[in-house]
Amino acid sequence: METLKAADKIVEAIELIEIEMSKEVGAAENPILRAYGLTAEEYLLREINRVRSAELEAALIVLPFTYAIKLVPFFDQWIQASKSVERCCRCLFFLLKVHHNQITSNGMLLPTLQSLREHALPQITSLKDTIGFNLAGLKFLRQELVSSGIRNFQDVEDLAAGAKAAQKKRKLIK
């Protein structure tokens, strides 16, 4: 049930974008967008990010092909802007895998896919570098903790409790 609700929210957000794009300049803004203070594209990204990770692929598979196709240019736009790159790539790769035959037979998305190839690779490489750097830092911290005699989090809690007890004792003595 949650999967269908998530897919419906994504479809509604795509339709909201289409309505906003068809409006004339100066037309009244949609009350939903005004309430959240977002553009239509930001609202769509918000709805995609709100889908629980475990339900994301199921929500995308329920999405009709016409709406899946409409999502791809937005993924390119968000990846270029470094917005939710991991989530966008996950959605994009899943949609490309599921709808591969329809996408390859329909050359309509070719320019968008070429743009995605140019923009996604540097973003993914940057994320991999950041994760690698953070992982190296965590390994270093673990080595430092092990070399100081700390083997697990319980040891850290015991040290912290001992330090608090010693601090209380010092206050009582003064």
Q: What is the pLDDT of residues 20-70, one digit of tens each?
A: 888 866 666 788 888 989 999 999 999 999 999 999 999 999 999 999 999
Could you tell me how far CA 174 lies from the centroid of its own chain? 53
Phi and psi at 168, nearest 5°, equal -65, -40
User: Domain boundaries in the chain?
Assistant: 2-173
What pLDDT sits at residue 142? 83
pTM of the model: 0.76
What would the pLDDT profile of 32-44 be if each residue is shown by its tens digit? 888 989 999 999 9
What would the two tokens of residue 143 be? 């080595």
Cα(81)–Cα(77) distance, integer angstroms: 6
Looking at this protein, which amino acid is placed at residue 98? V
What does each of the 174 residues of the chain score in pLDDT, given as a tens digit?
A: 888 999 999 999 999 999 988 886 666 678 888 898 999 999 999 999 999 999 999 999 999 999 999 999 999 999 999 999 999 999 999 999 999 999 888 888 899 999 999 999 999 999 999 999 999 999 998 888 788 877 776 777 777 788 888 888 777 776
